[in-house]
Structure 1
Amino acid sequence: MFVIVAGFIAFSVVAPSVGIFGNSFFESGSGLTLRWYRETLTSPGVLSATLNTAMVVVGATTIALVSGVVLAWLVSRTDIPFARVLTIVPVMPLFFPPVVGAVAWVLLLAPEVGLINEFLRAVTGGAVGPVNIYNVWGVTWVVGIYITPYVYLMIANAFQQYDGAYEEAARTAGVSTLTVLTRITIPLLRPAIMAGAMLAFITALAQFSIPAIIGKTGDVDVYTTLIYDMLRSYPRQLDSAAVLSSIMVIVTMGVLWYQRRLLRRSSRFVTMSGKGLRRTRLSLGSWRWPLFVGIVLYVLITVVLPAFALLNVSVRRHWSATLSLEGVTLDNFTWLTDGFNLATESMLNSGRLSVIGATIGMLLSVLIAYTVVRSRLKGRSVLDYLATFPSAVPATVLGAGLLMIYLGPPIALYGSNVLLLIAYVAHFLPQGTRTATAAFHQISPEMDEASYVCGASWPTTFRRIAVPLIGPIVAGGWLFLFVLMSRELSASVLIASPSTPVVSVVILDLWGNGSVPQLAAVSMVVLVLSAILTMVVQRVGNRGGAR
């Protein structure tokens, strides 16, 4: 197992990463050099992209952190109405793959034909705008919306394990709810909040699809879109792309290192002991219903309006802000099923790749987790680090590295589904491994020991004892990997070819070609499928946790 995982990581992640760093530091005929760093980092385009990247990452992280903490606190720790029903609400933006969400927000806030702008002009009497999404603030807003669920999930889980005795004592002493939140709850949950902030930071830094659709239209580049342009230009600017990719890897690894360091010191913030938890809910008083309305508005803004905008344009012959029923047509959906076009082929190919990739990914993840958690194999901690190493390499950088290494001989994989599968499994292996590891930690090792005492071998114990017990959680993990792989764009856009289309890349191509109604129809189909799968993942995960 160690050899298999080490070989796969070396082939899929380490070799591309070494290739990237090699291209950034070496010059043919001159050897080691800093020339590419000097030339790349002093060019006006890169300086502008650096500023834009910093603004998007910091701004989106702030939006996601504030929204995620507030939503997690309201749903998990207060007496807000319909709290159990509202647990799904903060996750609902995940229904939108980022590329689909970006398109939806353009349909809402495009300066001339955006639905919201059309409404605002009708109210104010203006001629254009007044809101323009094609700038760095538009990119920041949309990225922040779609990374909020990740922060929410992490912090809501921490709230579930939080002992309410501290809050109860403060409330008994007459402290206000707001003071309890700011002086007790948030400080005690600082490790989880910091971990959520770092997750948001890494996710925002690696984001490609939203800047590609919203930012590029307004000539706003970030590192990921600039790397894409450098690798798609002729001749390819491999050296400059390697420099930016190296910087992203270094920053990501630095954030992950700090996260590990923070978690090692988290014992200072322990609130759960063997005495049991008090999960009392704080009273919001007269703010209960206003805050409930605020969450309803959150759903309206982040989910309902974008979905409506996609639906409205998908039944039009041309992109416009009209809401009239006149001219409504289903031709764009008929186009999807009429013959075997690229959009249909891409959805089928994405489905095949996601099924195979999720199966391989979870199989590797379960074997890795079992080895790390249950076995006494020497070097199993190294195996754990190898399995999590891909999380330090952003998807765009992974795609760039795979393109540089496997574009031609001796191993030419470009233009094949094999290269896409390698990228998907490698990039999402950490998520699968974390899911499987958590599942094995829930099972007492006494069951394995009893099996061994009865004379069962390791394979038999694994097959007859471990797998049935963790089945529901593994099924949820498989579905989670399927959803992630089916919507992946950042790596796919660099290594997919016309012979290996995937749906996210086709959506981006339709946007570039100006085929907005057809794009909206494809996006609606993807949105519905993604919403169904996301709800299934959560349902299976909840059953697994209950088990």
Structure 2
Amino acid sequence: MSSSVLPAVAARPSRLRLFEPITLLWVALIAALLVLVAAPLLKLLVISFEEQDTGVFTIQNYFTAYGRQRYIDALINSLLLGTLSAAISTVIAVPMAWAVSRTDMPGKGFTWAMVLAAFIMPPYLGAIGWILLAGPNSGWINVVWRGLTGATDPLVNIYTFTGMAFVIALHSFPLVFIFVKSALDLVSSEMEDAANILGAGTWTAMRKVTLPLVWPSILGGFILIFLETIALFGTPAIIGIPARINVVTTQLWQFFEDPVRVEVAAAYAIPLLLITMGMIAVQKLMLSRKGFVSQTGKGGERREVKLGPWRWVMLGWCVAVAMLSVVKPLTVLLQASFAKAWGRGFSFDNLTLRNYEFLLFEHDVAPRAVWNTVWFSGASATIAGVLALLVAYIVVRKLMRFADALGFLAMAPFVIPGIVMAIGFYAAYAGPPLSLYGSGLLIILAFAARFLPIAYANSQAAIRAVHPEMEEAARILGSGRLHAIRKVTAPLLKTSLLGGWLVVFIVASRELSAAIFLVGPRTRTMSVLLYDLSEQGNFEVVAAFGGILLFITMVIVGIGMKLVGRDFMLRRE
């Protein structure tokens, strides 16, 4: 064979490798992540510098977005609201987490159940419950207060800045609780014992020794709630708009009123993204400068702190939080959902099933909204789960060069506020040539991108727990990689993957901040319809529809507990 033929023969396998399944899969994943993550963000940035009609480069959009004091005040209000809500959440959650993890407080199972209930209850539904409880004119707390004291002024008024932050914190604190408790569960008791020997009491040891060890988790929970709050739409719209408190998300919604000014909205949204990235950087900087490390290792002994009579005080704190975050709002919502007129109180002649009958059989949008919610949430959870599994497998097994770039793209939406992601999808895909505005496909893709980091973190942790030797054994026996994954790896991962799928389904089913910008007349979800009904002021129907949403959520949670375990929502890494 001539020497000129040899290079061609040698090059042929190299070219053929370009068409191997793993290479094609890598290319497909890159394309999918570019569509879901990179393209919307790039379009958002580009359109913020374009004139709406001509597409000519301009910075006028930024001058318009921040050219009025009202718009600047909205940004300041969001930052203050995020700080206050995160601070309240931390104050609520840290003592609860310490009591459940480290002490002999009774009622730990009850506390866990209430944390789970507060987590799965949509924040905007809790806001409606607190309007029924603490509205200045007809809220139950103020009605009882006036009846007992004869006062004319309300005892509490939920339509205030502090009231709004309080309601947000009541449904955000589970994030801090989960972070801090998970960290406390890994801390040995030996250093606390040493502090006690040196004369420190229980509370001093907790403040000086235990909490500094979990400082990263406390800070992480604080920052996460801050970022979630400044990107939250439901509660600021339901409580803030009637109270004339403007924040970034409600201002963005006003930019989408007729005429739609998407280029101004894009310019106004960019600082949210920069703030999020800045907060993540601040967190890393603070933790790099000051760290606390336990030297006892994973096997260190953990003993419950004996609180004596104080254990009942801690239980009282947990019960009070449960009453405020779950029991009272749910009770008043349940009463309103079965009431002819919720203001008439609890009486048999005021009970009716009419609200549910109207929604399920007569309302022209509600049944479709229920179906849309189930379909969109299920489809987005499936897309996110499949993408996350494939990306995590390639990253963990290091199958391709630059595999970490895939992991970076999969986690990128974590630092992108949901409302910014929604505007990016609107800018990228709502208009020609795809013209997807108002379609189910656009909502499904936006939800999949929004919650991809949850699925990816879950898949990555699950794959790392499976040793690659079992796959290698199957391949030695003649199995291909994809066949080994399907027959060996997938069965070992199915429980964890199902748990991740259920978590994404649940958070997608209650998502409002992204959905409100993307739905059309025939693609309204339950969260969007709930907001529309709340604007109409018919709280009986709103409460009934909220009850339907909670019923669906509880069914999914029940299925998750049956198939995966009772802690499937609380053990994500």
TM-score, normalised by the number of residues in structure 1? 0.94
Partner of 1:188: 213
Q: Secondary structure at the match of 1:269?
A: coil
Q: Secondary structure at the match of 2:512?
A: coil
**Structure 1 position 418, deviation (Å):** 0.3
C-alpha distance in structure 1 between counterparts of 2:286 and 2:395, whole Å: 22
Partner of 1:120: 145
Partner of 1:219: 244
Q: Secondary structure at the match of 2:343?
A: coil
C-alpha distance in structure 2 between counterparts of 1:392 and 1:291, whole Å: 35
- Residues 381, 541 of structure 1: CA spacing in aligned structure 2 closer, same or farther, 3 A cutoff? farther
- Residues 506, 84 of structure 1: CA spacing in aligned structure 2 closer, same or farther, 3 A cutoff? closer
**Structure 1 position 261, deviation (Å):** 5.5
Out of 181, 199, 208, the position equivalent to 1:156 is 181
Partner of 2:550: 527
Q: Is the 8 A contact 1:108 1:115 kept in 2?
A: yes
- Residues 88, 225 of structure 1: CA spacing in aligned structure 2 closer, same or farther, 3 A cutoff? same
Partner of 1:320: 343
Partner of 1:81: 106
Partner of 1:238: 262
Q: Secondary structure at the match of 1:277?
A: coil
**Structure 1 position 163, deviation (Å):** 2.0
The one of the two structures with greater contact order (alpha-carbon pairs below 8 A, sep at least 6) is: 1
C-alpha distance in structure 2 between counterparts of 1:183 and 1:109, whole Å: 38
TM-score, normalised by the number of residues in structure 2? 0.90
Does structure 1 residue 134 correspond to structure 2 residue 156? Answer: no
Does structure 1 residue 507 correspond to structure 2 residue 530? Answer: yes
Does structure 1 residue 477 correspond to structure 2 residue 510? Answer: no
- After TM superposition, the structure 1 = structure 2 runs for residues 8-27 of structure 1, keeping only pairs within 5 Å, are 8-27=32-51
C-alpha distance in structure 2 between counterparts of 1:272 and 1:323, whole Å: 58
**Structure 1 position 455, deviation (Å):** 3.3
- Residues 237, 148 of structure 1: CA spacing in aligned structure 2 closer, same or farther, 3 A cutoff? same
Q: Secondary structure at the match of 1:87?
A: helix
- After TM superposition, the structure 1 = structure 2 runs for residues 156-305 of structure 1, keeping only pairs within 5 Å, are 156-231=181-256, 233-259=257-283, 268-271=291-294, 276-305=299-328
Out of 48, 51, 72, the position equivalent to 1:47 is 72
C-alpha distance in structure 1 between counterparts of 2:111 and 2:558, whole Å: 14
**Structure 1 position 542, deviation (Å):** 5.2
- Residues 262, 536 of structure 1: CA spacing in aligned structure 2 closer, same or farther, 3 A cutoff? farther
**Structure 1 position 32, deviation (Å):** 4.5
1:459 partner amino acid: L
C-alpha distance in structure 2 between counterparts of 1:275 and 1:238, whole Å: 52
Instruction: Give per-residue Cα distances to partners, 1:126-185, cap 9 Å, x unaligned.
Output: 235232211221211111111111111111111122222211222233311111111111
Out of 498, 519, 532, the position equivalent to 1:496 is 519
Does structure 1 residue 362 correspond to structure 2 residue 390? Answer: no
Aligned residues: percent identity?
A: 31
Judge which range, 191-200 or 28-37, deviates more.
Answer: 28-37
Larger Rg: 2
Q: Secondary structure at the match of 1:398?
A: helix
Out of 455, 458, 462, the position equivalent to 1:435 is 458
Q: Is the 8 A contact 1:5 1:386 kept in 2?
A: no
1:2 partner amino acid: W
**Structure 1 position 523, deviation (Å):** 0.6
C-alpha distance in structure 2 between counterparts of 1:543 and 1:14, whole Å: 33
- Residues 288, 274 of structure 1: CA spacing in aligned structure 2 closer, same or farther, 3 A cutoff? closer
Query: Any gaps of 5 or more consecutive residues in structure 1?
Result: none
C-alpha distance in structure 2 between counterparts of 1:466 and 1:263, whole Å: 36
Q: Is the 8 A contact 2:96 2:314 kept in 1?
A: no
C-alpha distance in structure 2 between counterparts of 1:280 and 1:3, whole Å: 51
C-alpha distance in structure 2 between counterparts of 1:23 and 1:437, whole Å: 34
**Structure 1 position 125, deviation (Å):** 1.2
C-alpha distance in structure 2 between counterparts of 1:338 and 1:235, whole Å: 35
**Structure 1 position 217, deviation (Å):** 1.3
C-alpha distance in structure 1 between counterparts of 2:196 and 2:554, whole Å: 40
Count residues with an aligned counterpart.
Answer: 544
Q: Secondary structure at the match of 2:426?
A: helix
**Structure 1 position 367, deviation (Å):** 1.2
**Structure 1 position 445, deviation (Å):** 2.9
**Structure 1 position 457, deviation (Å):** 1.9
- Residues 262, 443 of structure 1: CA spacing in aligned structure 2 closer, same or farther, 3 A cutoff? farther
- Residues 313, 542 of structure 1: CA spacing in aligned structure 2 closer, same or farther, 3 A cutoff? closer
Q: Is the 8 A contact 1:191 1:262 kept in 2?
A: no
2:26 partner amino acid: F
1:165 partner amino acid: E
Instruction: Give per-residue Cα distances to partners, 1:391-412, cap 9 Å, x unaligned.
Output: 1221111111222222221111
C-alpha distance in structure 2 between counterparts of 1:258 and 1:372, whole Å: 27
1:175 partner amino acid: A
Judge which range, 25-34 or 431-440, deviates more.
Answer: 25-34
Does structure 1 residue 517 correspond to structure 2 residue 514? Answer: no
Instruction: Give per-residue Cα distances to partners, 1:301-324, cap 9 Å, x unaligned.
Output: 111100011111112223426233
Judge which range, 26-35 or 50-59, deviates more.
Answer: 26-35
Q: Is the 8 A contact 1:113 1:321 kept in 2?
A: no
C-alpha distance in structure 2 between counterparts of 1:4 and 1:271, whole Å: 44
**Structure 1 position 76, deviation (Å):** 0.6
Note the aligned Cα RMSD (angstroms).
2.3
Judge which range, 43-52 or 415-424, deviates more.
Answer: 43-52
Q: Is the 8 A contact 1:362 1:474 kept in 2?
A: yes
2:71 partner amino acid: V
- Residues 275, 185 of structure 1: CA spacing in aligned structure 2 closer, same or farther, 3 A cutoff? closer
Partner of 2:20: none
2:173 partner amino acid: T
**Structure 1 position 292, deviation (Å):** 0.9
C-alpha distance in structure 1 between counterparts of 2:310 and 2:422, whole Å: 48
C-alpha distance in structure 2 between counterparts of 1:275 and 1:140, whole Å: 38
Q: Is the 8 A contact 1:472 1:543 kept in 2?
A: no
C-alpha distance in structure 2 between counterparts of 1:378 and 1:96, whole Å: 42
C-alpha distance in structure 1 between counterparts of 2:193 and 2:560, whole Å: 34
C-alpha distance in structure 2 between counterparts of 1:31 and 1:341, whole Å: 43
1:240 partner amino acid: V
Instruction: Give per-residue Cα distances to partners, 1:417-443, cap 9 Å, x unaligned.
Output: 000110110100000000111112222
C-alpha distance in structure 2 between counterparts of 1:535 and 1:259, whole Å: 36
